[in-house]
Amino acid sequence: MEKNLEKFLNRKNNKNKIIVIYWPTASWKTSLSIDIAKKINSEIISTDSRQIFKFLNIWTWKITKEEMQGINHYMIDIIEPNIKYSVWEFKKEAEIFLEKIWDKWKIPILCWWTWLYIDSLIYDFKIPKIPADETLRKKLEQEAKNFWNNYLYEKLLKLDYNYAKTLHPNNLQYIIRALEVKILSWKSKSEFIEEKKLKYDTFFITPYLWDREKLYENINFRVKKMFDDGLVSEVKNLLKMWYKKDDFWLKTIWYKEVIEYLDWKISLNETIEQVQKNSRNYAKRQLTWFRKYK
């Protein structure tokens, strides 16, 4: 890894350089990002669609101030959890930080796991100019409340199978947007995504060692630690504030299972086992999504 990194750092061309750390949850991307940032004196931009939200700390495995070790991190804790936030908004804000880091003669490091956020920054990326239809969106959100997330996911599978397979069934925000684009334009959201040449001189690196057994072991350990660190209390506190159980982010994996526990539908042990299982399934999908990165 160090030899390849050195080659990248010494490579001469006219493009700005950027480093992308990728692959699945619980593969120690955070540790690798800190190691590289310290080695090359750089700064990190989070490409995680959940770490942008305040208060969602344990659930998102959000990096702590101590773990940052004094290294500047961007795009973390920027909005309230009940605010909708699009890929376009992320791209626009994150590109400001890219420019600021390059202006310091440093190489930005992109880290964490939302592939769409990563792609929006490193590729020529065409985002659909389909305005939100609030009436349609409220109708879809109501269907999710009435029938849970899988109902909308099944609907998307029928309308846009290939794009649906890139999403997790509990990723309600993206599912609703994909349905909205398909219904309003009769085009798949994937038709708006054109991955051409990389915009920057990009170094892809992963800490994942192709040991799936070890990855699943890490996931089980991390999930258990989430509960030991107070995941249930975090959900309780959020519900005591102004958030509702049917807010989209509370119906995603990990929070959804905890709410079922709080509603006395399953035991704590069943909750932990379910979160571990769903996290392993999520990692499988991530392994598929990120295979395109070389």
Which three-class secondary structure state does DSSP give residue 284? Answer: helix
Instruction: State how many domains the chain has.
Output: 3
In a domain, 11, yes or no: yes
State both tokens at 258. 């905890």
Beta carbons of 251 and 149 less than 8 angstroms apart:
yes
Check whether 2 has a pLDDT greater than 50: yes
Asked whether 229 and 60 are in contact (CB, 8 A), the reply is no
Cβ atoms of residues 155 and 212 within 8 Å: no
The domain that holds 51 is classified in CATH as: 3.40.50.300
- Cα-only R_g, the chain: 19
Whether 294 is in a domain gets the answer: no
197 in Cβ contact with 16 (< 8 Å): no
Do 56 and 158 lie in one domain? The reply is no
Residue 272: pLDDT above 80? yes
- Residue 79 domain boundaries: 2-126+194-209
Buried b (16+ CB within 10 A) or exposed e, 37-63: beeeebbbbbbbbbbbbebbbbbbbbb
Among 209, 244, 272, identify where a domain stops. Answer: 209
Same domain, 62 and 204: yes
Do both 70 and 201 map to the same domain?
A: yes
Residue 146 lies in a domain: yes
98 falls within a domain: yes
The per-residue pLDDT for range 85-120, each reduced to its tens digit, is: 888 889 999 999 999 999 999 999 999 778 788 888
Instruction: Indicate whether 74 and 93 sit together in one domain.
Output: yes
| pLDDT for the residue 195 | 47
Angle made by CA atoms 167, 291, 279, in degrees to the nearest 5: 45
**One domain, residues 23 and 55:** yes
